[in-house]
């Protein structure tokens, strides 16, 4: 069971509060283990036990798929077995899984993937010519013209060229070298790989990595697995989750006493917080990284998910190059993108890329070697990444439908972002910043003292207690703020804005009702 700990220790590397996992193995634990095998021989002790396993793995936490999701899966099973519940279905608003929430894939992308999977279809006259020509181009770049061949470990050449041209267009002509592009198995894989290169040293020389709080828990999980030091800087909830340079400085100065800070991670648009960084803020961050000698990692997987008026996505690469050679010749930057989010939402294909800027040549050779051990990213994911950066062009047969589908998805998301903020802010005890971008709201919730005490007595984080109760009573699966980190004494949850509009409205109203009931009960 979860110990009662304050937020700061809950996020430190040597506790494991968010994910004790007892529920995951409950079924198997329930089976009594025979003390003696059938032939009467006392079994040998296990080689691999919780006490003899890799201790850094034990420190890993990943709340987005933690115990609350395990319970949601159990509830779904219980429902399907006819067990009575106070709800008819479980709604998983815990993870940015667009298609699972009913978002439709882009037709053109799927046509090309079908053509690449089964090239016989190139003779099928119902497929548009532009889909066929994209498929031919991808297949020509594959060994034996098959997606079943390994690609180069860095990714298919022609895909990396297309990525480079996409970045140049996106960044108003700032040049991009395909040799600086590495295709990845989703963005998570690229982030993990970059962190792996950076981590070294022991004790006070151990690599420290700055991450925002709240953060996407891939970062804390990766740092725990690598045994790196996590340096928390807090986003300013009062100013719409903006980033203050003074807070970066505070966090860095404190960290220098006990580790060697070497990298600064930024998520823009923010996950779980949904803010979109201003150009000025990005410039400040780049100046800070340059002054303090930090390697910059920019997680830009939500680059097309910007909804709020007056907000615009600025890539770190573009801003860096527009700041002139003092910065663009020196600041080391890795930026990450993915096929999983934006208007495409193709999480299951595990496609992504990273661009590396100003990386030392010898380190780059080591990076190339490191990725070669895993052979290559999945080729269908590479193909999909290619389509994302090279979609139908004006004049091509699929262009109009592509634009229609993309626009429909992005405007629906924009509408749902607004709806979420509006409804949540009508609830006394819930306050929600505007969802400027990405796919999540991260509202602050007031949890009554009596509920905090009951949770603490149970050894649970108060917001885990709150979310677990909500799941059991309403079937809504959210992730408690403690899984992402939050200021001590504040509580939040992350909720995706992905369910279809009607369903989202019902869901938000159920959250409202639950919160009112919960508050009343514990007041």
> Could you say which residues in the range 16-35 bind a second copy, by CB under 8 A?
19, 21-22, 24-25, 27-29, 34
Question: Minimum distance from CB of 259 to a second copy (Å)?
Answer: 14
Backbone angles phi, psi at 409, to 5 degrees: -65, -45
189 near a second copy, rule: CB under 8 A: yes
User: Which distant-in-sequence residues (6+ apart) come within 8 Å of 169 by Cβ?
Assistant: none
In the bound state with a second copy, the residue whose beta carbon lies nearer, of 39 and 523, is: 39
* Contact (Cβ atoms closer than 8 angstroms) between residue 447 and residue 463: yes
300 near a second copy, rule: CB under 8 A: no
In the bound state with a second copy, the residue whose beta carbon lies nearer, of 268 and 339, is: 339
397 near a second copy, rule: CB under 8 A: no
Within 10 Å of residue 136's Cβ, how many Cβ atoms? Answer: 16
Pick one of 150, 169, 426, 428: the residue that binds a second copy (CB under 8 A). 150
Question: Minimum distance from CB of 266 to a second copy (Å)?
Answer: 15
Angle at 351 between CA 340 and CA 171, to 5 degrees: 80
Only segment of 60-68, 396-404, 469-477, 513-521 that touches a second copy (CB under 8 A): 60-68
Helix (H/G/I), strand (E/B), else coil: 489 = coil
210 near a second copy, rule: CB under 8 A: no
Among positions 77-116, residues that touch a second copy (CB under 8 A) are 95, 97-103, 105, 110-111, 113-115
β-pairing verdict for 91-92 and 333-338: unpaired
In the bound state with a second copy, the residue whose beta carbon lies nearer, of 91 and 451, is: 91
Nearest to 271 by CA among 463, 440, 127: 440
Among positions 355-384, residues that touch a second copy (CB under 8 A) are 358-366, 368-370, 372-381
50 near a second copy, rule: CB under 8 A: yes
45 near a second copy, rule: CB under 8 A: yes
408 near a second copy, rule: CB under 8 A: no
Pick one of 6, 236, 330, 407: the residue that binds a second copy (CB under 8 A). 330
In the bound state with a second copy, the residue whose beta carbon lies nearer, of 11 and 423, is: 11
Sequential DSSP letters for 92-135: E-SS--TGGGTPPPPHHHHHHHHHHH-GGGGG-TTS-HHHHHHH
Pick one of 78, 129, 143, 403: the residue that binds a second copy (CB under 8 A). 143
Pick one of 52, 312, 426, 509: the residue that binds a second copy (CB under 8 A). 52
Checking phi first, is residue 361 left (phi over 0); if not, alpha (psi -120 to 50) or beta?
alpha
Pick one of 1, 14, 32, 41: the residue that binds a second copy (CB under 8 A). 41
For the chain, how many helices (H) and strands (E)? 19, 14
65 near a second copy, rule: CB under 8 A: yes
User: Which distant-in-sequence residues (6+ apart) come within 8 Å of 186 by Cβ?
Assistant: 338, 339, 340, 347, 350, 351, 352, 381
137 near a second copy, rule: CB under 8 A: no
Question: Minimum distance from CB of 105 to a second copy (Å)?
Answer: 5
- Burial label, 46 (beta-carbon count in 10 A; 0-12, 13-18, 19+): exposed
Nearest to 477 by CA among 494, 502, 500, 459: 494
Among positions 235-294, residues that touch a second copy (CB under 8 A) are 262-263, 290, 293-294
């Amino acid at each position: 069971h979860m110990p009662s700990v304050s937020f700061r220790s809950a996020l430190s590397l040597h506790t494991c509060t968010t994910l004790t996992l007892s529920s995951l193995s409950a079924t198997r634990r329930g089976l009594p283990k025979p003390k003696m095998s059938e032939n009467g021989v006392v079994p040998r002790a296990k080689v691999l036990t919780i006490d003899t396993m890799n201790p850094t793995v034990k420190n890993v936490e990943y709340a987005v798929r933690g115990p609350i999701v395990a319970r949601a899966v159990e509830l779904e099973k219980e429902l399907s077995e006819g067990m009575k519940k106070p709800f008819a279905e479980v709604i998983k608003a815990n993870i940015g899984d667009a298609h699972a929430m009913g978002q439709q894939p882009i037709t053109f992308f799927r046509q090309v993937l079908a053509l690449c999977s089964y090239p016989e279809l190139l003779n099928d006259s119902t497929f548009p010519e532009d889909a066929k020509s994209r498929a031919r181009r991808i297949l020509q770049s594959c060994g034996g013209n098959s997606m079943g061949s390994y690609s180069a470990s860095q990714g298919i050449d022609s895909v990396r060229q297309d990525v480079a041209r996409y970045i140049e267009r996106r960044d108003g002509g700032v040049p991009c070298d395909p040799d600086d592009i590495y295709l990845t198995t989703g963005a998570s894989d690229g982030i993990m790989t970059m962190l792996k290169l950076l981590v070294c040293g022991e004790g006070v020389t151990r690599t420290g990595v700055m991450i925002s709080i709240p953060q996407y828990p891939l970062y804390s999980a990766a740092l725990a697995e690598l045994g790196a030091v996590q340096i928390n800087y807090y986003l300013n909830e009062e100013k719409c989750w903006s980033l203050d340079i003074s807070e970066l400085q505070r966090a860095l100065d404190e960290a220098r006493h006990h580790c060697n800070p070497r990298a600064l991670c930024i998520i823009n648009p923010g996950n779980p917080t949904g803010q979109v960084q201003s150009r000025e803020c990005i410039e400040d961050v780049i100046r800070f990284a340059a002054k303090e000698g930090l390697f910059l990692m920019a997680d830009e997987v939500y680059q097309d998910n910007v909804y709020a008026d007056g907000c615009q996505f600025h890539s770190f690469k573009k801003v860096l190059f527009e700041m002139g050679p003092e910065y663009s010749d020196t600041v080391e930057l890795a930026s990450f993108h993915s096929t999983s989010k934006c208007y495409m939402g193709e999480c299951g294909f595990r496609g992504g890329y990273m661009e590396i800027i100003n990386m030392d040549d010898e380190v780059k050779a080591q990076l190339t070697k490191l990725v070669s051990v895993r052979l290559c990213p999945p080729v269908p994911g590479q193909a999909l990444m290619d389509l994302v950066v090279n979609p139908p062009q004006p004049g091509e047969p699929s262009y109009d439908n592509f634009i229609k589908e993309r626009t429909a998805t992005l405007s629906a998301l924009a509408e749902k972002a607004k709806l979420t903020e509006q409804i949540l802010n009508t609830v006394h005890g819930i306050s929600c910043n505007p969802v400027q971008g990405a796919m999540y709201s991260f509202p602050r919730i007031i949890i009554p003292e009596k509920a905090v005490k009951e949770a603490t007595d149970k050894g649970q984080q108060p917001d885990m207690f709150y979310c677990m109760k909500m799941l059991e009573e309403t079937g809504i699966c959210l992730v408690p703020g403690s899984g992402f980190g939050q200021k001590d004494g504040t509580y939040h949850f992350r909720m995706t804005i992905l369910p279809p509009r009607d369903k989202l409205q019902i869901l938000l109203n159920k959250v409202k009702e639950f919160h009112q009931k919960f508050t009343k009960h514990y007041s």
